[in-house]
Copies of this chain bind each other. A is one copy, B any other.
Amino acid sequence: MTVASDPRVTDRVHQELRDQIFAGELPAGARLSVPALAASLGVSRSPVREAIVRLVHERLAREEPRRGAVVADVSLKSLIAIYEVREVLEGLATRLAVENAGRRLIRTLEDVLGEHERAVAAVDLTAASEADMTFHRLIREAADNPEVVRMLDEVQTQVRLAMRTTQVTRGPKLAVADHRAIFTAMAAGDPAAAEQAARAHIAGLRSTLAEQAGEPR
């Protein structure tokens, strides 16, 4: 038996290109030339071609037949549409988490929320951001629904892509307050309230995006 799965060249190339896109080394609109990338990565054209097909499928790149692929961008309008979807998916994940989970999850979430609050109080943005992501991740995992996890991953991919150009936050303090509200509903074992609180959290972020788009209210 092999100790670890022998990673395919295609997988490495795919991961490398993803990293380069998220890092901004391959900016939006950059052409993804198969021969050029193959040469620069020191592999043949086949695995590069397949990696690009995957990037197109996860919408990190766009392709027109016979014209090749370019790195995708995310318009503010698209991002708002994505957040509309994210709102209901995070709501679902949170409701399912409440329906499934026991005290163990509640206690873990409480710990993470505490860390989050301390980090915000200490103006430690890195730690705050990490606690924020952990909070959401724990809820998704507890939802025990692989479909919603997958769809939220797709959403997350697009959000990361958008992050290169667009800021999405209402500030660390509001994030903590929203999470506290979600936690309270979850701790009370109220699935409907938890779903609503999670939706409100995302809806709030979406409204800041809408403001940036020049549509206040």
Binding site for B on A (CB under 8 A): 5-6, 8, 11, 49-50, 53-54, 57, 65-66, 78, 81-82, 84-85, 87-89, 91-92, 96, 145-148, 151, 154
- Cα–Cα distance between A97 and B53 once the two chains are bound (Å): 33
Asked if A81 and B147 make an inter-chain contact with CB atoms under 8 angstroms apart, the answer reads yes
Asked if A85 and B145 make an inter-chain contact with CB atoms under 8 angstroms apart, the answer reads yes
- Cα–Cα distance between A84 and B89 once the two chains are bound (Å): 10
- Cα–Cα distance between A84 and B87 once the two chains are bound (Å): 15
Residues on B with C-beta less than 8 A from A54 are 53, 57
The secondary structure that dominates the A interface is: helix
Asked if B5 and A148 make an inter-chain contact with CB atoms under 8 angstroms apart, the answer reads no
- Cα–Cα distance between A173 and B89 once the two chains are bound (Å): 30
Asked if B92 and A6 make an inter-chain contact with CB atoms under 8 angstroms apart, the answer reads no
> Distance in Å from the Cβ of A9 to the closest Cβ of chain B?
11
- Cα–Cα distance between A54 and B54 once the two chains are bound (Å): 8
- Cα–Cα distance between A50 and B8 once the two chains are bound (Å): 16
Nearest residue (CB) in B for A146 is B81
22 contacts between A and B (CB under 8 A): A5-B65, A11-B65, A49-B50, A50-B50, A50-B53, A53-B54, A57-B57, A78-B147, A81-B146, A82-B147, A84-B96, A84-B145, A85-B89, A85-B92, A85-B145, A87-B92, A88-B88, A88-B89, A88-B91, A88-B92, A151-B151, A151-B154
- Cα–Cα distance between A87 and B65 once the two chains are bound (Å): 35
- Cα–Cα distance between A28 and B49 once the two chains are bound (Å): 28
Residues on B with C-beta less than 8 A from A92 are 84-85, 87-88
